[in-house]
Structures are given as C-alpha cells and as structure tokens.
Amino acid sequence: MRTSVAVVLIAALAWTSVQAVASARPQEQAPGAGAPAQIGLLDAVQSALDRHPLLQIQQRQVEISRAQQQQRSGDFDTRWQWTTSDSRTTSPLTDVERSGAALAGATTDALTDHTFSVTAGVQRLLRSGVTVGPYLEMNRTTDNVQNPDGVSRSRVGLDVTMPLLRGRGREVVTAPETAARIVVDASLHDLTQESADLVLSTALSYWQYVVSLRQLEIITASETRARGFVGGVTTLAQADRLPRAEINQAQANLDSREAGRIAGEQQVLEARVGLALVMGLAPEQMPELPLPADQLPDGVGETPPSLASDRLRALIDQALARRADYLAAEKKKDAADLLRRAAGSGLRPQLDLTLSGGYTGLLQGRRPDQFLGSALTRPAGPDVLIGLRYSLSRANNLAIGQLEEATATYRQADLIGAERARVIAGDVVNAVTAVSNGLRRLNKARDAVAGYQAALDGESDKLRLGVGSITDILTVDGRLTEALLDLVRAQQAYAASVVQARWATGTLVSPDRVAQAPDRVVFYQPPRDIF
C-alpha cells in the first residue's frame, strides 16, 4: 500500500516543485494578440502626477500665493485720481452787504455763487515709505456781485509725506510684499513635497498590486496541488489502500487553500482599486486597470547600508537640505520673522514730515480756453508748506495686538520647522534601517524557500521508500507555501524601503523642479548616499 500511495503522490510532488520554483521568480506575460495590456510603474506615477486631485489642489494654492503677492505689490502702484464738481449756492445778504453790492452796480438781496472744479493727481507710495504725488486743481467761480464775468484759478503742486517714526524704512514698508514672495516659494516647496508624497503612495500601491497578484498565484498553485492530493487519497481510500479518515485531512487542506485563494482574489481587487485611486483615475476606469508590467526589486548584489551614527547624522543633514517640506517650513518661518519685525514699528507714534510746493495761476473770463489756460497764466510765485503731523493712541491696542499676533505666528513657524526637522531625522533613521533589515530578511526568506523545497524533496524520497506519510507531505507543502508567501512579503518590504529611503532623504523627486518626472532607478536602487 505504501508503494501505491507513493506512486499517486509523487506526481503531485513533482508539480509542487515546478510551481514553487515558478512562484519564486517574476512572472512575465507571454506576448501575443490575446495578452492583456500592462501598466508600468512609471506610467502609474505619471498618471498620479497628472491627475490626482491633491496635487491639483496644491497647484491652486501656488496660484493663490502668487495672487496674494500681486496684491501686496499693489501697495506701491501709482494711483491716479480725478474729481470734478459743479455747485451753485445762494446766500442772503445783510444790509451792509446789499449796500456794498449796490455800490458795485449790483442790486440784489442774495449772493449767487457758481463754482466748477476739476482736481487731478497722481500719488505713489515708494518702498522707502515716502509718499509723493503731483496734483492740479482748477476751478472757475462766477457770482452776481464781484465776479459776474468769472474767474478761473489753477494750482499746480507736489505733495511729499515722509514718515519719521512709524512705517519708516524699506524693511518695514516692504515686509508684507517680501513675506508674500517668500510664501510663494514656500508653496512651491509644498507642491514639490506633495509630488514626493504622491510618488511614494503610487509606488507603494503599485507594489501592493504586484504582491497581491504574486500571492494569488502561489495560493492558486497550492490549491491545485491540494486538489490533486484529495483526488489521489480518495482513489486509494476507495480501493481500501488507505483509511477513509485520510480523505478528511486532504479535504480540510483543500478547503483551507480555497479559502486562502478567495481572500487572495479580494486582496487583488482591493489593490487594483487602491492603485487606481492614487493614479487619479475616474470611477469607470478603475475596473479596467491593466496588470502590472514591472516586478519587485530583488536586492541581488546590494549590501546593507552603514548604520554608524556619524553616517546617519550626515544623511540627516543632507535630507534637511533637500526635503521640500522642511524647506517650505523654513520659508514660512522667514516670512513670519519679517512680519514680526515690521509689526514692531506699529508701537511707535505716527510722526510724518509733510512738504508741499507749487504755484497758483489766474485768468478771468468764462471761455473754456480761459479755464484751461489759467494754470499757465499770471503765477504770483511759488507756494511752500512744511509741516509735521503727529498721531498717538495711548492704549495702542491695535499695534500691540498685531505685534503679539506676528510674534506668536513666528514662534509657531519656528516650532513647526523644528518639529519637521525632528520627524525627518526619524524618517531617515527608519528608512536606512529598513533597507538594511529588508536586505537581510530577503536573503533569509530565499534561504527558507530553498530549505523547504529541499525538505519537500526529502519527504518525497521518504514516501518513495515507504517510510513517509501524507501528514508529513501536507505539512511540508504548507510550510513551503508560507515560505513562498513570506518571500513575496520580504520583496515587498524591501521595495517599500527603497522608495521610502528615497522619500526620506529627499531624492525621490527633484527639489528644484515644479513638473516632476522620476527616473526608474529611484524605485529599484536605494540612494547611494546611505552606503
């Protein structure tokens, strides 16, 4: 009976060996007209960079920051002003005024005054804090007593306001504009970091898709072998060459494999949807996602990186110089510092030196040319005005509150930057350690597969000699399947550690580029700096 059992089960064991070896290496799609379309890792990453809403949201944030910078630059725009008015007033006259009007040849009980005015000016705030602007005032006045023929007067002048305390100096005046420009740079760094995060998520989702398919292949092969065992044992039991109880053990083994295959199919579905989501695909495109074309990095030829403290410190310093999230935090801190220092100016009193100079022209008559020509006719001499304007709020709550807010914002930005640096240091240490341990785990997982394959071959030999058992065969077969699954998980862990090391050290994307196009090597080789 032992010999008969061996004859039936040896064929299944041969199939076991073939499937074990096949599942341990990358599966390739055979070319042909019926082969399904495949998607590469770089294609998935590019789709995410082109379509994902989170990246588009951050791009809109960059546009918002640029718009805010333009608004702050508007403080220094040249402002043109134009005012025109036409007024008529009638005022009753006293007895003395009526007598005076009568002597002037006008008999009236009221003074009717008609004034037409035009005022035009240009004003601009310079980045030094000085406000300067020329202006032109023109008006024509007629009345029924003194100026029945009309008098046109024009004044041409220049006003200059120079702050002496509050709001003085380029650093203070341009602080909002400069801070807004720095925030634009910070938003661009945020966009770069969002790209890096998205590339990382896409790569991890892609590897999960690859792994779920590989695991389903291994589990399906195990189910096929288990079904062969059931058939063989059932045949022998019906021929009274094995106890019928052995059928229960073989069937339980098959049921377990089938349950694992069903779970594997669900994992493939979830992995496909997860990758489609991170790629930014529309809902109707998710079920149509092709099979992955790229395989997991195998780590062959790689040596574990150095974990020396000085090497890790150097890697952390390099990461701080390249990580876009840290650079963005530092930019935001610089902007907050500018606004904090500028807010201190608000505690000072307002003391402005005002200068004004010009001349006044006059021309009589009602004609339009006399009105317009008055600016160039009969100037009596220059007018000069020098003055000081002082203003102080004793409580000064507004300025104090603005300074406290700006100070708190700066301290918050400083703490965010410090915390970001601390997190990045942890990311680097974890990533380098993960690469080192991932390589060692991968090697051990390969050794385990080879060992269980040899053990299964040994059980086959024992069964051929009549000293083995079905229980031993099923046990070793199950352990080989688990070893194959663990090898795939080890490959996934190493692949994840590679891309996470790139992300942690700031070498996954280009820190100085807005449009990203990662190279394939970043997904298959850890950064050289860690070795």
What is the CATH code for 2-66+178-335+409-530?
A: 1.20.1600.10
Percent of the chain with pLDDT over 90: 58
Q: Is 492 exposed, middle or buried (0-12, 13-18, 19+ CB in 10 A)?
A: buried
Closest CA to 168 of 131, 133, 123: 131
pLDDT of residue 36: 52
What's residue 303's pLDDT?
81
Q: What does the pLDDT look like over 119-162, one tens digit per residue? A: 999 999 999 999 999 999 999 999 888 888 888 888 999 999 99
- Non-local (6+) Cβ contacts of 412 within 8 A are 336
Q: What percent of the chain has pLDDT over 70?
A: 91
C-alpha closest to that of 473 among 484, 458, 485, 451:
458
Length of the chain as a residue count? 531
Work out the pLDDT band at 466, boundaries 50, 70, 90: low
Query: Cα–Cα distance between 194 and 140 in angstroms, integer?
Result: 65
pLDDT of residue 531: 55
Any long-range contacts for 5-8 (C-beta under 8 Å, 24+ apart)?
5/232, 5/236, 5/241, 5/242, 5/463, 5/470, 6/463, 6/464, 6/466, 6/468, 8/232, 8/233, 8/235, 8/236
Question: Residue 251: is it exposed, middle or buried by C-beta count within 10 angstroms (0-12/13-18/19+)?
Answer: middle
Instruction: Centre a 10 Å sphere on the Cβ of residue 88 and count the other Cβ atoms it contains.
Output: 10
- Residues 6+ away with beta carbon under 8 Å from 15: 224, 225, 228
- Chain Cα centroid distance, residue 168: 37
CA atoms within 13 A on the CB side of 259: 6
Residue 410 is predicted with a pLDDT of 96
Residues 6+ apart with CB under 8 A from 66: 184
Find the angle CA(435)-CA(436)-CA(440) to the nearest 5 degrees.
110
- For the sheet containing 151-163, what is the strand order? 79-92, 110-125, 131-143, 151-163, 350-364, 382-391
Q: What's the CA gap between 427 and 500, in Å, rounded?
A: 9
pLDDT at 283: 85
The least confident of 9-18, 203-212, 353-362, 420-429 is: 9-18
Rounded to an integer, what distance in angstroms lies between the CA atom of residue 110 and that of residue 113? 10
Residue 133 tokens, joined: 């602007």
8 A C-beta contact, residue 209 and residue 296: no
| Mean pLDDT of all residues in 66-90 | 94
Q: Are 527 and 306 in contact (CB under 8 A)?
A: no
Burial of 525 (0-12, 13-18, 19+ CB in 10 A): middle
Please tell me the distance from the alpha carbon of residue 400 to that of residue 398, in angstroms, as a whole number: 6
Convert the pLDDT of each residue in 300-350 to its tens digit. Answer: 878 888 888 888 999 999 999 999 999 999 999 999 999 999 999 999 999
Identify the CA nearest to 114 among candidates 81, 149, 83, 80. 149
Q: Is pLDDT above 70 for 2? A: no
Query: For 179, phi and psi rounded to 5 degrees?
Result: -65, -40
In which band, very low, low, confident or very high, does the pLDDT at 467 lie, cut at 50, 70 and 90?
Answer: low
pLDDT over 60 (residue 1): no
What does the block give as tokens for 63? 């546009």
Locate the domains of the chain by residue range.
2-66+178-335+409-530
pLDDT in tens, 244-286: 887 888 888 889 889 999 999 999 999 999 999 999 998 888 8
pLDDT mean across residues, the chain:
87
* Residue 460 clears pLDDT 80, i.e. is over it: no
Distance CA 453, CA 487 (A): 13
Q: Which pair of structure tokens corresponds to residue 163?
A: 């702050």
Is the pLDDT score of 198 beyond 50?
yes
Note whether 436 and 304 are within 8 A (CB): yes
Contact indicator for 482, 23 with CB cutoff of 8 Å: no
Region 431-444 average pLDDT:
93
Residue 425's contacts (CB-CB under 8 Å, 6 or more residues apart) are 316, 319
CA 449 distance to own-chain centroid: 43
**Closest by alpha carbon to 199, among 439, 207, 382, 393?**
207
